[in-house]
Amino acid sequence: MSQFDRSAGTDASADRDGDRDGPAALRTESRVLPAEVFATLGNDTRVAVLRALLELGADEAPVSFTDLFDRVDIDDSANFSYHLRQLTGHFIRRSDEGYEFRSPGRKVVSAIFTGTLTERAQLGFFPADGACYDCGGDLHGWYVDDDLSVGCVDCGAVQVSYPFPSGGLDDRTTDELLQAFHHYVRHHYCLAADGVCPECTGSIDTTLVRDPDDEALDVAVEHVCRRCSYRLRSTIGVTLLDHAETLVFHSDRGVDLNTAPFWQFDWCVSDRLTTVVSEDPLRVRVTLPCAGDELRVLIDDTCAVTETTLVE
Ligand SMILES: [Zn+2]
Ligand SMILES: [Zn+2]
């Protein structure tokens, strides 16, 4: 399990039967709001219809109602017709010959099923700079199932694993990819630490969590979005990556935290350098070593820095 955890707390499976019985066929692409799009698609049968259209060759020729109904796992033809109607207009087109995709429907299918119908982007193992926080071994990166990870091939410790859109792999060498990944993850965590949800820009509540479940950490930072319930968990250290004194302390010693991959720093990927100094209220100290000196950062239960001490 990585120290970095990211999950959406929203449940997109809500069915909106009953309030969408209106003039679906009259809606145009431009009039359909994103929320409506997701509400329309937040139903297994409708997604199954789109998938069946693809599998039955709707890209080439319209598919008949009977063929579609046979293909989708549903017994009630009236219920099936209802779901089909919800998709007709914006996502699919109905003609005398049958059903075929409209462009938004085809795009949805591509987005949803690329992973199962075509080869997923994968990349592994390529060398990454830095040493394992646990055993000092060499680091490697790999990309599987939309997650980019950097970990140790000797002991298996994962320094970081975080979702990274596969388009970010295009036209980049593995070194460039790691650099982009560093910026992307660092900004996500720092944005959350600054109170802005990286997913929806809503307000984030940040707290320290003692002994988090399923984590290798004794203390972690948890960010939860009030608006979309997006949840991010990380080490405390990673939230210090844009803290002014932390940046200056490192740059005075020749280390640029903006560009140096954060997973090279023990204090970012483990809690070995994190000490609990008070349980109630929870207060922790993170010790940042650099070039023989130390910056000791005291943090309160909201993850705010309350005091820093330089030890030379
Ligand atoms: Zn290791
Ligand atoms: Zn949010």
Ligand 1 centroid distance, CA of 5 (Å):
20
Identify which ligand lies nearest to the alpha carbon of 131.
1
Identify which ligand lies nearest to the alpha carbon of 135.
1
> Cα(72)–Cα(20) distance, rounded to whole angstroms?
21
Confidence at residue 18, expressed as pLDDT on a 0 to 100 scale: 37
By the 8 A CB rule, do 153 and 134 touch? no
Ligand 1 centroid distance, CA of 253 (Å):
26
Residue 152 buriedness (CB in 10 A; 0-12 / 13-18 / 19+): buried
- Fold of the domain spanning 24-117: Arc Repressor Mutant, subunit A (1.10.10)
Mapped onto helix, strand or coil, the DSSP state of residue 12 is coil
Number of residues written out for the chain:
312
Quickly list DSSP for 216-284.
Answer: S-SEEEEEEETTT--EEEE-SGGGGGG-HHHHHHHHTTT--TTTS-GGGSHHHH-STTEEEEEETTEEE
- Dig out the tokens for 222 from the structure: 């948890």
Ligand 1 centroid distance, CA of 138 (Å):
7
Confidence at residue 35, expressed as pLDDT on a 0 to 100 scale: 65
Identify which ligand lies nearest to the alpha carbon of 155.
1
By the 8 A CB rule, do 246 and 297 touch? yes
Confidence at residue 33, expressed as pLDDT on a 0 to 100 scale: 60
Q: What is the pLDDT of residues 167-193, one digit of tens each?
A: 888 888 989 999 999 999 999 999 999
Reported pTM: 0.63
Of 98, 93, 37, nearest to 67 by C-alpha is 98
* Domain coordinates in residue numbering, the chain: 24-117, 121-311
C-alpha distances in Å from residue 262, one per residue of 50, 93, 241, 248, 269 = 42, 49, 8, 16, 8
Ligand 1 centroid distance, CA of 159 (Å):
9
By the 8 A CB rule, do 105 and 92 touch? yes
Ligand 2 centroid distance, CA of 216 (Å):
26
Q: What is the pLDDT of residues 145-163, one digit of tens each?
A: 788 999 887 888 888 999 8
Confidence at residue 216, expressed as pLDDT on a 0 to 100 scale: 74
By the 8 A CB rule, do 270 and 3 touch? yes
Ligand 1 centroid distance, CA of 312 (Å):
29
Confidence at residue 116, expressed as pLDDT on a 0 to 100 scale: 43
Task: Express the helix, strand and coil content of the chain in percent, nearest 5 each.
Answer: 35, 30, 40
Confidence at residue 59, expressed as pLDDT on a 0 to 100 scale: 84
What residues in the chain have per-residue pLDDT under 50?
Answer: 1-2, 5-31, 115-119
Identify which ligand lies nearest to the alpha carbon of 198.
2
